[in-house]
Structure 1
Amino acid sequence: MSHARQQGRDHWRTRRCRRRTGRGASPRTRTLAHLAAGTPALPLLIICVIVLVDLAGGTGKAWLPLLATAPALAAATSRPCGVLGVGFLAALLGAAIGVRHGVAASALTVVLAAPVTVTLAGTLASALRARRERVLAAVRSVAETAQHALLAPVPETVGPFQVAVRYSAAAAEARIGGDLYALIPTPHGVRLIVGDVRGKGLPAVGTAALVLGVFREAAHDEPDLLDVVCRIERSLARNLGADDFVTAVVAGYPRAGRLEMVNCGHAPPLLVRGSDVVAVDAVRPAPPLGLRALSGETPSLQVLSFDEEDQLLLYTDGVTEARDEGREFYPLAEGLARHLCDEPARTLAALHGELLAHVGGRLHDDAALLLLRKPAAVPGAAGAEPVRAAVR
């Protein structure tokens, strides 16, 4: 999200004052240059049309009331100095047209009162709009900082894996939501988490920050992946409300060929082996994080073989629950099989584009995609082993 946007930039093409005034320029020159900067083109076009109509047919005085639309449009798109410039020009040319046609002074005054009044009101509105845009830019800057702090960018390569991530927040301007992900190298191998916080808004963001903070700490400290999950569970039990919870998949790669996974009420990851895409369902389903005390069930460790050329896609329900106009869910497994390639970033780019096309351009829930690929270390290496699972 870029925050280098110019405050109050016009939606229409604007005239820029190309002549740079030096330090020795007169105050009048600097004032005129300041007024000319950012003057919108469409309001000027309206004024020019009225003047041309008058010059061509002599009926411009009938169009004089329309001069008030010029500063009104400028107020919606330009800075206060631009509104003043347009209003001054409209009043000046309106007076010239009225004098040219011999309009009575009293009648001309009434006609010109409209553009003058609109100019004054538009200047105030433009100033207030510019102030709101500055505040919005500051809020966006904070949101971007929070995004980088909470959802740190994942490099293209982490340990032995190629990695790609795609994240879309339902609140598009905020760029952040209740979905979470992290992938970090630790002394115990690469570990990762993908989760979804119940609810939306700032409370969900706060819970996501809590989960990620505990995960990053525990992933380095705890040799056992189940202990990492227990650390997160204990922290959430102290800090969440009775109705709050987090679904998550926590995974680790402690040594070559072995992928450990703990699924806490989350959507099953998709394992890609060759051209096959298989959902890795939990052998013993565990409750979401934060609800263990209510269910009394403990999570179990699931072990998969994960060899060269294998890929693993983790995602949140904002992807699988995305619907099109016919209320049909997005077929994630089929989409992954269609766009699968040896570059995770390209795969997710195509998958994300198809997802947006499926929903008509904008998601209505937070959505996260994380694709992990184990590239071949040696050309011509042996093929992958079949999926096997164990529970303890």
Structure 2
Amino acid sequence: MTDRKPPPHRTLLSCTPAVVMAVVAVTDILAGPGVGFLPLVSLGPAFAGLVGGWCRTALYGLAALVLCVALGLYDGLFDERRGYTALASVAGVTGVGVAAAVMRSNREEELANVRSIAEVAQRVLLRPVPRTAGPLQAAVSYTSAVAEARIGGDLYEVVSSPHGVRVIVGDVQGKGLAAVETAAVVLSVFREAAYDEGTLSELGERLERSAARELEGEKFVTAVLAEIGTEHEAVFVNYGHPAPMILRKDGTVDFPQPPAFAPPLGLGEYGSEGPKPYRVSFAPGEQLLLYTDGVTEARDEEGRFYPLGERAHLLKDPGAHRALAALREDLARHAAGPPHDDAAMLLLRYRGHENGKPSPPRK
């Protein structure tokens, strides 16, 4: 395990108090007592309180007091009030700096605890997908639109069930904690129902019932469900979600569309007919990419959407995770700035069956 070096700006700030005090001391000696640089010695503990702990700030404050006394005696300032005024300013700034350092340390500790909780929530909500599931190799990428956030409103899951490998990728309307809560509801139902329901349509109906019961008002979740079994085909059920992308062995790209568009999860009660499952050939050596609209709706500086189909060649890397990382980096370059929406991508590679038989489901 290698030691981490502090970032350059952090090292520079750590040296600033000593540098400032040295500059003030030299300037005061050269300029003489008539200019009045002595109170500026208090800048040392002031800067120390910005980056160091309270103990380090107190040490710089003590050093500043010693320097102030030495310069005051050198300049003969203790024969009048100026020397004592400078000492009072250094002591006051040191006290404030120590208090600020304590408060900052407490906030940093609270932030570290919050981040730790967020990491646990991420592992529970968006747990890592298995590297292999049945005949498939899987890789996932998630980019949150919220700075410093680990999770958001996009969701994904891969489950090896008795009925085949079942997959969901979805996008919750809105952002923030409410979207995370909704994503948790959908994922928990999917993880259980993927094992129980006999068909993908029944799985989708169960998700719809749960979403309608949990979501309030006109909130909804777009989602696409996929099932890959042993027939060299993929079955899809689409709830208002972007069409999946299939990269064929010959390099061509397909975006199979549903026979009829259906409303997202949570809006089925408004009388629209539910989605119909549709089948698409999906053979060994081919790749399936499920994604959210944060990918295809990412715009460059000229307002052009990300051309996902044109960038499918980036997925030809032998390593699934490296291939998906290349696509994610290309997406970030295209957006040329922070993302405006969460972007999730789930890549499935059909590796084929061993000895002509499907791999057993992963527990």
Q: Give the TM-score of the pair, scaled to structure 1.
A: 0.83
- In the TM superposition, 1:71-82 aligns within 5 A as 71-82=45-56
Partner of 2:222: 247
Cα separation, 2, equivalents of 1:152 and 1:262: 23
Distance 2:312 2:208 in 1: 32
Question: Does the alignment pair 1:367 with 2:338?
Answer: no
| 1:1-392 → structure 2 map (5 Å cutoff) | 12-13=10-11, 40-53=14-27, 57=30, 59=32, 62-103=36-77, 104-273=79-248, 274-375=250-351
Contact 2:144/2:342 (<8 A) preserved:
yes
Aligned-partner residue type, residue 106 of structure 1: R
CA distances 1:334-367 after superposition (whole Å, capped 9, x unpaired): 2223453332211111111111122234212111
Match of 1:17 in 2: none
Report deviation, 1:370: 0.6
User: How much does 1:52 deviate?
Assistant: 4.1
Q: Deviations over 1:135-166 (max 9, x none)?
A: 11111111111110000101322221111100
Letter in 2 for 1:268: A
Shift of 1:59: 4.3
Offset from partner CA, 1:160-192 (integer Å, 9 cap, x none): 111110001112323111100000111111111
More deviation, 134-143/111-120 = 111-120
> Aligned-pair distance for 1:323?
1.8
**Which sits farther off after the overlay, 91-100 or 194-203?**
91-100
Contact 2:135–2:352 at 8 Å: present in 1 too?
no
Change (3 A) 1:279 1:263: same
Query: What's the secondary structure of 1:12's corresponding residue?
Result: helix
Question: Which has the larger displacement, 327-336 or 207-216?
Answer: 327-336
Kindly provide the amino acid, as one letter, of the partner of residue 265 in structure 1.
G
1:297-324 deviation line (CA, Å, top 9, x unaligned): 1111111111011101111111111122
Separation (CA, whole Å) in 2 of partners of 1:373 and 1:310: 6
1-side partners of 2:85 and 2:213: how far apart? 70
Q: 1:374 offset after TM fit, Å?
A: 0.9
Distance (whole Å) between structure 1 residues aligned to residue 305 and residue 17 of structure 2: 46
Q: Do the aligned residues in 1 keep the contact of 2:32 with 2:75 (CA within 8 Å)? A: no
C-alpha displacement of 1:122: 1.3
Code of the residue aligned with 2:48 in structure 1: it is A
CA RMSD of aligned residues (A): 2.3
Aligned counterparts of 2:327 and 2:320: Cα–Cα separation in 1: 10
What is the DSSP-based 3-state SS (H/G/I as helix, E as strand, rest coil) of the residue aligned with 2:229? strand
Change (3 A) 1:218 1:339: closer
Q: Deviations over 1:91-148 (max 9, x none)?
A: 2112101111212341111123222211111111111111111111111111111110
Distance in 1 (CA, whole Å) between partners of 2:83 and 2:222 is 71
Contact 1:76 1:126 in 2 (8 A): yes
How many residue pairs match? The answer is 347
Which segment is superposed worse, 301-310 or 279-288?
A: 279-288
- For the residue of structure 1 that corresponds to 2:123, the secondary structure is helix
Distance 1:59 1:166 in 2: 63
SS in 2 for 1:40: helix
- 1:287, 1:295 within 8 Å by CA — same for their partners in 2? no
**Contact in 2 for aligned 1:10/1:40 (Cα 8 Å):** no
Q: Distance in 1 between the 2:344 and 2:223 partners?
A: 12
Taking structure 1 as reference, are residues 336 and 59 closer, same or farther at Cα in structure 2, changes over 3 Å only?
farther
Q: 1:64 to 1:326 in 2, by over 3 A?
A: farther
1:311–1:372 CA contact under 8 A, matched in 2 = yes
Task: Give the SS at the match of 2:235.
Answer: strand
Q: Is the 8 A contact 1:43 1:86 kept in 2?
A: yes
Note the C-alpha offset of 1:54.
Answer: 5.2
Question: CA 1:335/1:64 → structure 2, altered by over 3 Å: closer, same or farther?
Answer: farther
Q: CA deviation at 1:58?
A: 6.1
Deviation at 1:64, TM superposition (A): 2.1
Instruction: Name the SS for the 2:50 alignment partner.
Output: helix
CA contact (8 A) 1:10 1:77 kept: no
Say which SS state the counterpart of residue 119 (structure 2) adopts: helix
Given that 1:11 and 1:77 are in contact with CA atoms closer than 8 Å, whether structure 2 keeps it comes out as no
Deviation of 1:80 (Å):
0.8
Higher relative contact order (CA 8 A, sep 6+): 2
Note if contact 1:276-1:337 (Cα within 8 Å) is conserved in structure 2.
no
